[in-house]
């Protein structure tokens, strides 16, 4: 029987077998260069593979070294990816061994205090201490119903289609200016922009190749960008009924943002819009004359795990002062299980173990859910995930853990 203790990093020579085994579990076709050569963003030294007795790859996992914006700071984050277990090796503790190996190594090496992932199934990762920290808006609407309020200012700039190279140069500057202010955002170096702009035909799902827009101010400065596709469709009586599928819209000003969306909503032959990865609290709704024209069905986005509670809580900032003891329950990572004294304010924070009496008792998943400011500790208390020991502690902590900008992660990995 294959022993989960035999997990080890994959080599370049082993990558084709590793990638094919991973794609098979995800139900994807093994096509393209990805199956033969590790992509530029791959970090094979941070990968894990489990080989069966017959030489097949029975389990896969990996980590990307990312930088995650958290309230008031940017923090190293282990981007967990490639996690699969072959059906032949289910219910043998393999996934548990993978999760334990990753988190233990991060802790012992003093590496990233946070780990994040995108979950293929919602019921898997909670038992390992991960929780939903951002949401996708999954927005839908009929474009002819989405006129703007009369006071919406489109500014003096202009929106224009551009090719991929021009888009990459302009969008990268805007993204870098914005991502440090939005919890859940991640850095994009040249490797990650290259990955983002790959556009293989098998990923288009009946839509066009990806198209690009830049918004430039009157002086020529790029102040916004958008990426989208168009899915053409005609009704039975030959009327246009296409859909604009929006990947991303970001801008440094409200007029630029509004102008980009106006361009997308006014495309010829398009009658509906889909923006599955837009923020759950996208400002678009507040531009519309009829807010009901935009329909949202939020889905989970980035799942977060506090690898080291003390370092993670000390890394972020708190808009209101907090000085209390948290008793954290963490069954999977025993080094976190215990009482932590947290002092924080807008300029910095301190967190260390203590034997003091707790003000709040919270499980590590609930703490991860609240960490980026997307879920109130008051809401988690109502769900039985937070217990108030000192009167008023939930109100104080919920205020301190909040953040004026809703968390949003546009980068899937």
Region 387-393: what's the mean pLDDT?
98
Confidence (pLDDT) at 2: 59
pLDDT over 90 for what percent of the chain?
A: 92
Q: Hey, which residues does 250 pair with through a beta bridge?
A: 225
- Closest to 367 (Cα-Cα) out of 96, 113, 111: 113
Q: How far is CA 119 from CA 122, 126, 131, 171, in A?
A: 6, 10, 10, 27
CATH superfamily for 309-401 is SCP2 sterol-binding domain (3.30.1050.10)
Q: In terms of CATH, what superfamily is 139-297?
A: Gcn5-related N-acetyltransferase (GNAT) (3.40.630.30)
Give CA–CA dist 397/402, Å, rounded: 8
Ranges of beta strands (E only) in 166-260 are 211-216, 222-231, 242-251
Assign domain 4-112 to its CATH superfamily: Gcn5-related N-acetyltransferase (GNAT) (3.40.630.30)
Q: Is 148 a catalytic residue?
A: no
- Per-residue pLDDT of 52-73, as tens digits, reads 988 899 999 999 999 999 999 9
For residue 138, the SS3 value is coil
Q: What's the pTM?
A: 0.95
CA distances (Å), origin 50, targets 41, 103, 257, 402: 21, 17, 47, 41
Domain pair 4-112 / 309-401, same fold: no
Q: Is 272 annotated as a binding residue?
A: no
At a CB cut-off of 8 Å and minimum separation 6, what does 304 contact? 114, 115, 116, 130, 131, 133, 368, 369, 371, 372
* Beta-carbon contacts of residue 401 (< 8 Å; ≥ 6 apart): 318, 322, 370, 371, 373, 376, 377
CA dist 276 and 363 (Å) reads 30
Which residue among 18, 125, 228, 263 is the active-site one? 125
230 marked as part of a ligand binding site: no
* Torsion 253-256-257-258 (CA) sign: positive
The pLDDT of residue 1: 46
Q: Are strands 114-117 and 73-85 parallel, antiparallel or unpaired?
A: parallel
Q: Flag whether 94 is marked binding.
A: yes
pLDDT digits (tens, 9 = 90+) for 123-163: 999 999 999 999 999 999 999 999 999 999 999 999 999 99
Q: What angle do CA 392, 395, 397 make, to 5 degrees?
A: 105
Cα distance between residue 331 and residue 334, in whole Å: 6
The answer to whether 92 is annotated as binding is yes
The overall average pLDDT reported for the chain is 96
Q: What is the mean pLDDT of residues 370-378?
A: 97
pLDDT tens digit string along 71-91?
Answer: 999 999 999 999 999 999 998
Per-domain boundaries in the chain = 4-112, 139-297, 309-401
* Distance between CA atoms of residues 7 and 200, nearest Å: 32
Integer CA distances (angstroms), 318 to 287, 398, 400, in order: 30, 10, 5
The response to whether 32 counts as a known ligand-binding position is no
Helix pair 393-401, 364-371: axis angle to 10 deg: 50
- Strand 73-85 vs strand 57-70: parallel, antiparallel, or unpaired? antiparallel
What's the Cα-to-Cα distance from 207 to each of 57, 141, 242, 315, rounded to whole Å? Answer: 34, 18, 10, 42
Would residue 263 show up in a list of annotated catalytic residues for this protein? Answer: no
Structure tokens at 402: 């909040």
Is 93 annotated in a binding site? The answer is: yes
**Which of 212, 371, 401, 413 is the catalytic position?**
413
Say yes or no to pLDDT of 334 above 90. yes
Distance separating alpha carbons of residues 94 and 217, to the nearest angstrom: 54
């Amino acid at each position: 029987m294959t022993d989960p203790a035999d997990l080890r990093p994959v080599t370049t020579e082993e990558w084709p077998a590793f990638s094919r085994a991973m794609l098979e579990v995800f139900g994807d076709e093994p096509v393209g260069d990805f199956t033969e050569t590790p992509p530029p963003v791959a970090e094979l030294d941070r990968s894990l593979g489990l080989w069966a007795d017959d030489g097949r790859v029975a389990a896969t996992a990996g980590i990307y070294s990312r930088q995650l914006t958290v309230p008031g700071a940017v923090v190293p984050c282990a981007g967990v990816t490639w996690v699969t277990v072959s059906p032949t090796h289910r219910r043998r503790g393999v996934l548990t061994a993978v999760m334990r190996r990753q988190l233990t190594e991060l802790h012992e090496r003093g590496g990233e205090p946070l780990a994040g992932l995108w979950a293929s199934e919602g019921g898997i990762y909670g038992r390992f201490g991960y929780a939903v920290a951002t949401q996708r808006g999954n927005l839908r609407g009929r474009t002819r119903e989405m006129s703007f309020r009369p006071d919406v200012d489109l500014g003096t700039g202009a929106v224009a289609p551009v090719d991929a190279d021009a888009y990459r140069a302009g969008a990268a500057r805007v993204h870098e200016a914005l991502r440090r202010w939005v919890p859940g955002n991640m850095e994009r170096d040249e490797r990650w922009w290259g990955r983002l702009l790959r556009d293989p035909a098998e990923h288009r799902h009946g839509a066009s190749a990806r198209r690009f827009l830049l918004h430039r101010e009157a002086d020529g400065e790029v102040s916004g960008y958008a990426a989208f596709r168009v899915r053409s469709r005609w009704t039975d009586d030959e009327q246009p009924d296409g859909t604009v599928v929006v990947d991303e819209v970001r801008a440094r000003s409200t007029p630029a943002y509004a102008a980009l969306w106006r361009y997308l909503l006014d495309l010829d032959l398009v009658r509906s819009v889909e923006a599955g990865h837009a923020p759950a609290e996208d400002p678009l709704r507040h531009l519309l004359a009829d807010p009901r024209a935009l329909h949202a069905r939020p889905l989970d986005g980035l799942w977060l795990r506090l690898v080291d509670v003390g370092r993670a809580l000390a890394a972020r900032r708190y808009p209101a002062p907090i000085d209390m003891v948290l008793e954290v329950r963490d069954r999977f990572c025993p080094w976190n299980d215990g009482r932590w004294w947290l002092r924080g304010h807008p300029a910095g924070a301190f967190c260390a173990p203590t034997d003091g009496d707790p003000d709040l008792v919270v499980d590590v998943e609930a703490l991860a859910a609240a960490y980026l400011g997307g879920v109130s500790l008051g809401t988690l208390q109502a769900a039985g995930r937070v217990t108030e020991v000192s009167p008023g502690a939930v109100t104080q902590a919920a205020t301190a853990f909040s953040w004026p900008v809703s968390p949003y992660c546009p980068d899937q990995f």
